[in-house]
Amino acid sequence: MIPLQRVDISAHAQSLLTRWTQRVESAGATGQAARELWGDAKAPKKHVRSALESMARGAVRCMYCDDSRGTDIDHFEPLERAPLRAFVWVNHLLACSFCNSNTKNRKYPVDAKGDCLLVDPTAEDPADHLTLRLSVGTYDPLSPKGEETIRVFGLNRSELVKGRVDAFVRACSILRDWHGLRQNAPSEADRVAQALLDSPFIDVVHAMTRLKPSVAAIVVGQATVPALDAWRAAHSLSFRVGQPRVCGGAADADCIDDTLADDDHSCQGRAGGRSNDERVITMQNYGLTWTDPTGTPCSSAVAYDEPSAQDRKAALESGGCTSVEIVAVRPGELPEPRG
């Protein structure tokens, strides 16, 4: 499990979800009413799914196990417990069918104060509560919330443990290949990097970047340490908890395009509304465009955080490239070469 950026949905989509919440209230605000209305809510679910898929890593991975495709919209706080949150944007996450139906299902453990004991990866960093043992592929809890998260989401089920062990071996090999390509074939290195970022079990790579230098050689092997250090500088996932980003127009790189018609009105613009959750993960991605020494227009095949983008720009310029520009990009998108 890794931290994820929750984007704000448009004002139109928020208005639509609010109207459906009012329907739940009018129907008695029961779990049964919420479930029946959610089943009929074709248009709101299209908006929610579109936004969630823009937040998911790689090939729309499950936000809990980081392995399978996220096929289901999960209500983090179950409908039976909180029927009036059935259409609340911050209560939606994307899950695979196994995590949604077979493990989490309707579980929602709380402590003595009534506070949730499950990690919401869109509102906090899971690493505050969980630590991944890379050599054996299992999660260990760092807190009661971590312990319940492992149990409820089945994070240590056998197929995930084996998948992480295999992913760790692959990641070490891929990092060494990527590191060797950086000097002589930077474009190919970028493609290798993006393939790794899009692969299942990105939580393994994320955990590798968090290794302390004093133990990195023991865990990944001395031959991989230089590659890991370079990767950490260039591609480590950069997250911070802060205010949610508001979709305020085309200039906002993470706006969700409001193109889905609802059951009452056509979409009206892209003015955004702020979610009710003030603790969300925010991250801005950047790509680069440049002209190589042969005069060929090029662009990066992987997204960077801002410091890494600046480092990449400096490396390109020192290698004789010209017209190097840093471009803000949407998640999942990269700039085209400028000829």
Range with top average pLDDT, 68-72, 267-271, 281-285: 68-72
Q: Which of 235, 238, 237, 239 is nearest to 175 (CA)?
A: 235
Chain mean pLDDT for the chain: 81
Whether pLDDT at 235 is above 80: no
Q: Which residues does 326 contact at the CB level (< 8 Å), separation at least 6?
A: 286, 287, 288, 306, 309, 310, 313
pLDDT of residue 240: 38
Question: What pTM, to 2 d.p., does this model score?
Answer: 0.70
What is the rounded end-to-end Cα distance, in angstroms, of the chain?
40
| Domain boundary assignment for the chain | 1-120+239-283, 285-329
**Residue 222, class by beta-carbon neighbours within 10 Å (0-12 exposed, 13-18 middle, 19+ buried)?**
exposed
Question: Token match 């000829």: residue?
Answer: 339
Average pLDDT over residues 15-44: 93
What pLDDT, in 10s, does the model give residues 87-119?
A: 999 999 999 999 998 899 899 999 999 999 999
Q: CA 313, CA 213: separation in Å to the nearest integer? A: 26
Where does the pLDDT of residue 75 fall: very low under 50, low under 70, confident under 90, or very high at 90 and above? Answer: very high
Minimum mean pLDDT range among 47-61, 126-140, 275-289, 324-338: 275-289
- Residue pair 58/146 in contact (Cβ under 8 Å)? The answer is no
Residue 331 backbone dihedrals phi, psi, to 5 degrees: -55, 130
Q: CA 292, CA 4: separation in Å to the nearest integer? A: 34
